[in-house]
Amino acid sequence: MAYLADYADTGAAALYGEAPANAGMTPGEEQRHLLAYAPLVKRIVRQLNSQVSGAVSREDMEQIGLMGLLEALRRYGTPDQGFGSYASLRVRGAILDELRRQDWRPRAVRQDSHRVRDALRELTRKLGREPLEKEAAAALGVTLEEFRQHVLDDCAEEMLSFDEVLQEATEHAHGAPSPEEAYLVRRSLEQVLGSLNEKEQRVIQMIYEFELSYKEIAAVLDLSDARVCQLNKSALAKMKAALQRA
């Protein structure tokens, strides 16, 4: 879980304006660093594009991500070892903000997601456990593939990210966090992540450390894309709730 330290340390700096102050770069230097970190933008876009099922073009998402990267460069200054984690926060946040601003999901899809969510809660109550995908599809009267698409649509509605969980943790500190407070943030994240089940931990690690897409994770874990999406959403919701209680 070493990646938690990178996220916690650079995330706290980003939130409280503690990034290095040497942000005055020439246009040529900015262009060089943008080119160097463009693969980071492409990786994040590849992840998010799988979550929104291609509803927004990859080219548009990459353009938004590059603008986020440029903002990160101007706030941070000359990149060093910690810049990658800092830039990931800014790039992912810029893309998610724009997707939410556009309210890209059709109203019919949003309404259907609420119907499916309510039906699954009722089925879970009756079974006393989370239903299998086949059980859920049968209860809803849809095919397995249709149910999986429902799940992906529902997950994409919130698009909660690990970065937002990090922000939730660091905002518990009032003002710039001291080294002791930064350590407590990191410890809290480690404890919360440790409380997840094994599959949830692996999904979180593969998404946010190894930057794999849902489809790639599904192949590794022998699950459907929809199930990976559910595990990611469940894990992040548990982490956020636990940090709010802390």
3-state secondary structure string across the chain: CCHHHHHHHHHHHHHCCCCCCCCCCCHHHHHHHHHHHHHHHHHHHHHHHHHCCCCCCHHHHHHHHHHHHHHHHHHHCCCCCCHHHHHHHHHHHHHHHHHHHHCCCCHHHHHHHHHHHHHHHHHHHHHCCCCCHHHHHHHHCCCHHHHHHHHHHHHHHHCCCHHHHHHHHHCCCCCCCCHHHHHHHHHHHHHHHHCCCHHHHHHHHHHHCCCCCHHHHHHHHCCCHHHHHHHHHHHHHHHHHHHHHC
Sign for the pseudo-dihedral over CA of 215, 221, 225, 230: negative
d(CA 82, CA 227): 32
Relative orientation angle of helices 162-170 and 179-194, to the nearest 10 degrees? 140
Question: Which pLDDT belongs to residue 17?
Answer: 47
pTM, 2 dp: 0.67
Question: Which pLDDT belongs to residue 139?
Answer: 92
Amino acid at residue number 109: V
Question: Which pLDDT belongs to residue 16?
Answer: 43
d(CA 31, CA 70): 9
Question: Which pLDDT belongs to residue 2?
Answer: 53
Question: Which pLDDT belongs to residue 229?
Answer: 87
Question: Which pLDDT belongs to residue 105?
Answer: 60
Ranges in the chain, pLDDT < 70: 1-23, 50-55, 103-111, 156-164, 166-179, 181-183, 185, 246
d(CA 146, CA 153): 11
Question: Which pLDDT belongs to residue 187?
Answer: 77
